[in-house]
Amino acid sequence: SDGVLVLQAYEKWGDAFVDHLAGDFAFVLWDGRRRRLLAARDRLGVRALFHAEAGGSLLLSDSLDWIAAHEATDSALDPRWVADFLTIGHSRDFESTVWRGVKRLAPAHLPKAGAVQTASRRYWRLELGEPLHLPNAAAYGERFRDVMTSAIRDRLPSGRVGISMSGGLDSTTLAACTVAATGDPSRVIAECTHFERLMVDEEKHYSTLAARHLGIEIVHTALDDAAYDPLWRTRSIDTAEPCVGALVAEPERRMSRAQAGLAPVWFFGEGPDNALGFERDAYFRWLARRRDWRGLMRAALGYLGTKDGWGETLRRYSGLCTPDVPDDPEPPWLAPDIAALARREDTAPPPHPWHPRAIASFSSAIWPALFANFDVDESQAPLVWRHPFLDLRVLGFLLAVPPVPWARRKLLLREAMRGRLPREILERNKTPLATSPFASPVATHGLPPLARDGRLEAFVDADKLPEAASAGPLLSRLIAVHALDYWLARHPRRR
């Protein structure tokens, strides 16, 4: 079992044992001979671990609720966490939880405890050296397929495996690689969630093309009636922390149970959007600073050879292109001290010299927040979510390929999947959702009245809250207020 492997690794390598572990994990280990306790969380934070010092005891668990329920745990709310939740939807700090007295173990950290004194160290960090140069496009495609095959085989169940598959390039690539790794299309089933009425959505069409090409079964699930549950406030929805998912928790629970009936393990295709960030200017500047004129010429020729859409480029440089839409404005209903916390500046590590945004994106606390949503799914139904693109072999390769030209429109994936996916998918541009799925149903049904728990006033001036129909670009922030209010009502103040 995984637990026995961890114990054997610790016996063989001592404190360095965690360097030899691969995969998604969180565990606590007690060394009775040396009277010491160790705990660890995987490198990207896929699995969660929490800790608190309460009443002279050290509490560790993968359940935040279990620690928070301990009578000696500090039950005050963390205003920094709440400020982040009300403005961007998740904490900006790796270690914060909604409870001031309970902390998350940060990804890639290893705390050690003797008695109740704890200290932790970071045992791994994402590092990237020189770009990886291979002789030709075929070599890049072959290397990608090799590392993906290894990552997928390490995560396959004995029976069927599910793929959360849209009609986009990332998830269809994951499906194609899974079929190749299993050698049996009948072991692979895909589910495509899509919209039929709320917005224009072509995912059903493109996912069907991919499934037919790969010879796998596909299930299509329309989300129009699951985008918002008008009765969400009457449900008994218990989450460890405030979560906007409360508004769709009941439909999500039904979908999770349906997925569990199809396969015990499901793959999710997040990762390439971040790892294959097209950072042309940073890469060119880095090559120029090094006076690597040969590399600069090679990158420029590669860029020119794959560049299309010159009209848009000319408009951008001539000032005729529509400027980017600014971020959502600060909600006017925030309490002054909460607004100040939301505006705080975080200390950022020095940027990577030639792949700054990509490397920085994997140092963001948004990843543990994303994984927490999968934890909720797993608590609702007997299924497990796994993330092959985030395997360190795959992630390291995606980051190491020169961003020019291989990250442009994810050229690497398109080359690797040539002949393995339909041409329509390989030539398709990335297509984000046309609008928020909440917008139309919330405007139709409205939001239930607030319970207005006494603690809410510490964070929000409820008298300044607009009606949902008039919230406009601040709708998601308004929904966060309602989710916080609902969570507070279900977590009454402890004496």
The tokens describing 191, both together, are 């589910």
Q: CA-to-CA distance for 351 and 360, rounded, in angstroms? A: 7
In this predicted structure, the answer to whether residue 119 has a pLDDT above a threshold of 70 is: no
Residue ranges of alpha helices (H) inside 278-402 are 280-289, 293-306, 310-317, 336-342, 356-361, 366-380, 392-400
152 Cβ neighbours under 8 A, 6+ residues apart: 177, 178, 181, 267, 388
pLDDT of residue 3: 92
What length does the chain have?
495
Cα distance between residue 173 and residue 191, in whole Å: 14
Residue 328 pLDDT: 63
Chain segment 430-465, per-residue pLDDT in tens: 887 767 888 888 888 889 999 987 889 999 999 999
pLDDT averaged over the chain? Answer: 90
Closest CA to 125 of 46, 40, 43: 43
Q: Residue 312: what pLDDT? A: 42
pTM value surpassing 0.85? yes
Tell me what the mean pLDDT of segment 263-282 comes to. Answer: 96
Token digits for 255? 């979908």
Q: What is the DSSP string of 294-330?
A: HHHHHHHHHHHHH---HHHHHHHHTT-SPPPPPPPPP
What's the pLDDT score for residue 15?
86
Least confident among 182-191, 311-320, 460-469: 311-320
Cα angle 388, 390, 393 (rounded to 5 degrees) comes to: 85
Percent of the chain beyond pLDDT 70?
93
At residue 438, the pLDDT reads: 81
How is the beta sheet containing 117-122 ordered, strand by strand? 26-31, 36-41, 109-114, 117-122
pLDDT band at 311 (very low <50, low <70, confident <90, very high): very low
Specify the pLDDT at position 49: 95
Q: What pLDDT shows up at residue 35?
A: 87
Mean pLDDT of 280-309: 87
Taking the C-alpha atoms of residue 202 and residue 213, their distance in angstroms, rounded to an integer, is 17
Q: How far apart are CA 70 and CA 78, in angstroms?
A: 17
Cα dist. 318→256, 284, 314, 322 in Å?
A: 49, 22, 6, 11
Instruction: Reply yes or no on whether the pLDDT at 358 is more than 80.
Output: yes
CA distance 322 to 345: 29
Q: How far apart are CA 263 and CA 182, in angstroms?
A: 15
Statement: residue 12 has pLDDT above 60: yes
Number of other CB atoms surrounding residue 33 within 10 Å: 5
- Res. 314: pLDDT tops 70: no
Query: What local confidence, expressed as pLDDT, does residue 233 receive?
Result: 94
Q: Each residue of 106-117: pLDDT tens digit?
A: 999 987 665 445
Residue 238 has pLDDT above 80, yes or no: yes
pLDDT at 97 over 70: yes
How many C-beta neighbours within 10 Å does residue 21 have?
A: 18
pLDDT at 324: 39
Gap between the Cα atoms of 278 and 430, Å rounded: 13
pLDDT of residue 472: 84
pLDDT at 219: 98
* Alpha helices, H only, 28-112: 64-68, 79-88
Tell me the mean pLDDT in the region 410-426.
97
**How distant, in Å, are the alpha carbons of 337, 463, 484 from that of 334?**
8, 11, 13
> Which residue has 């393990």 as its token pair?
265
Contact of 205 with 422, CB cutoff 8 Å: no
Instruction: Give mean pLDDT, residues 366-381.
Output: 92
Eight-state DSSP code of residue 154:
T
Give the pLDDT of residue 208: 98
Give pLDDT, residue 408: 94
Residue in 43, 222, 137 with CA at minimum distance from that of residue 417: 137
Give per-residue pLDDT as tens, 126-166: 999 999 999 999 999 999 999 999 999 999 999 999 999 99
Measured between alpha carbons, how far is 192 from 485 in angstroms, rounded to an integer?
33
Residue 118: pLDDT band (50, 70, 90) is low
Cα angle value 425/355/319 (rounded, 5°):
75
How do residues 33-69 score in pLDDT, each as one tens digit?
A: 988 888 999 999 999 999 998 888 889 999 999 999 9
What pLDDT shows up at residue 346?
Answer: 84
Q: Give me the residue label for tokens 């961003």.
A: 403
Give the whole-angstrom CA distance, residue 265 versus residue 434. Answer: 30
Of 342, 326, 274, give the one whose Cα is nearest residue 90: 342
Q: Check pLDDT > 70 for residue 207.
A: yes
Q: Distance between CA 444 and CA 446 in Å, rounded?
A: 6
DSSP code at position 27 = E
Contact in structure between 214 and 176 (CB atoms under 8 Å): yes
Q: Which two tokens stand for residue 339?
A: 């607004």
CB 189 within 8 A of CB 259: no
Under a CB-based contact definition with an 8 Å cutoff, are residues 63 and 31 in contact?
no
Query: In this structure, what is the dihedral angle of CA atoms 200, 475, 374, 194, given to the nearest 10 degrees?
Result: -10
Q: Is 426 helix (H, G, I), strand (E, B) or coil?
A: helix
Between 169-182 and 137-153, two packed helices, what is the crossing angle to 10 degrees? 70
The owner of tokens 């329509």 is 424
pLDDT band at 308 (very low <50, low <70, confident <90, very high): low
